[in-house]
Structure 1
Amino acid sequence: MPTLVRAIHEGQALSELRHQAAVDPLRGRIIGRFTSGFYARIRDQIFAAAGPLIWPGPIHLIAEQVPELAAEAGEVWLTATRLHYPGGTVDIASAAPYTPAIPTAEQLRAAAPLLVQWADMAGPPEDLATCWEPVLAAIDNEDIAGAALILQGRGIGLTPSGDDVLAGLLLFARWSGVPQAVLTPIAERAETSDLSRAFLRWAARGQSIAPIHALIISSSSSAERSERFNRAAKIVCQVGHRSGAALMTGLGIAAQSWAA
């Protein structure tokens, strides 16, 4: 018998799709699965439906329990209030929307030195060492598009390390005032996996997973600033195999250029 699970957090990718589904249900397909859930595509949006062990994010639909699939692949369809998939349904009606705010200039000024310090200590991701100097040169020249050409699809992981660094660059650029209209085409043109490109699109809009936004907010108070930042950084670095650490590196080199 199909299971019914209740969603507790909903990223903006699903919110926008549900708005479109208010008139007619939208159909899509499962494109992959992972320990906590599955990935699906509806129209040009990719999202993850998962249990409560993953962090809220712009493409995440988080339920009270892991949605169990009856098949490795299959069709999904979305209405204004529910996501149906092989083996069950997620009730999205009461899900809390995930809409993180863009950090203020004051928060960026407080976080920038700590991000730079962290990136200096961590160094480049090992799988990007051979291309790191050209990446830094492009960032020094405020050429994010040039850095993207070097980083796109490079490295290992479900989302390659180069894409994670690029996501950090796009995020910080958007937070520091670069228009979304400038950054989104860079994300769209990235020659990488569809999943990575989905994260890059949201980075260009100033959104990432919750621990990244908490990292910046934790740096906004002068009291115990470094200690709070380090605690938040450890949480970020536990995200994925290397994704969180690589994303922080991207934020760090972007912050260095911005501060200079």
Structure 2
Amino acid sequence: MGETEPFVAIRSSATAEDLPNASFAGQQESYLNVRGAEMVLAKVQECYASLFTDRATYYRHKQHFPHEKVALSAAVQMMVFSKASGVMFSVNVANGNDAQIVIDTIWGLGEYIVLGKVTPDHFVINKNNLQVVERSVVPKAIELCQTPGGGVHEAPVPADRAIRPALTEDQIHELAGYAKKIEKHYVCYMDMEFALDARTDRLWLVQARPETVWSNKNNKQATKESTVSMNKTEKILIKGLPASPGVSTGKVHVIADPKDIDEFEA
């Protein structure tokens, strides 16, 4: 604080995000490590313009949500110099168990956990006593870092740090306590994002919004995990953790450019 031109994050927030039957979160753009009034104004304009990207427009059309009913604001937040970051849910989004809190974390800025570029450490915490009941600590080979002059860049994580948990036991316990308090305040399951400041080792909650999947299910009991047969000889390119149980399967057809949309096979 006290800087004349601090680094900030420009985060989009649309009125259509996190509705009861659809989550528009992530459809609009956000920008990290922005500095200077001119650049801030430019990125705010780009945030507004992202309301009408192909992705955002198609999603609204698919959800039968009128384009003219959506408004968007751009929040300007002080940047946290993140040495680690992640997401946290006050319900186990893999099975709907609301007696558990889930924390996923990686090194560096949180963008790579949202994009799925890095498999995160995964912790499941008992909501009553805040004890870790399940953990998965995995190698995290790359991280997204802040560039000194502005913007971000990818960097390799040193081998000794890559295999370590991105959070300590005390930090996991602290975050889980925040999750309980935030859920109690909003009276619903919550989806949160956090960052660990490299300069102060202080944890910051940078976003909290209602969780939109299990919050709307009448049956909040854990569902049976479905199994999928897999050819064990195939190389796994990347592993991830489910945001919610799947309800159907189907083919994927990749369209590299909007002009090739006619190649889509139903």
* TM-score, structure 2 as length reference: 0.27
Larger Rg: 2
Q: Quick check: which one's helix share is greater?
A: 1
The structure with the largest strand share of the pair is 2
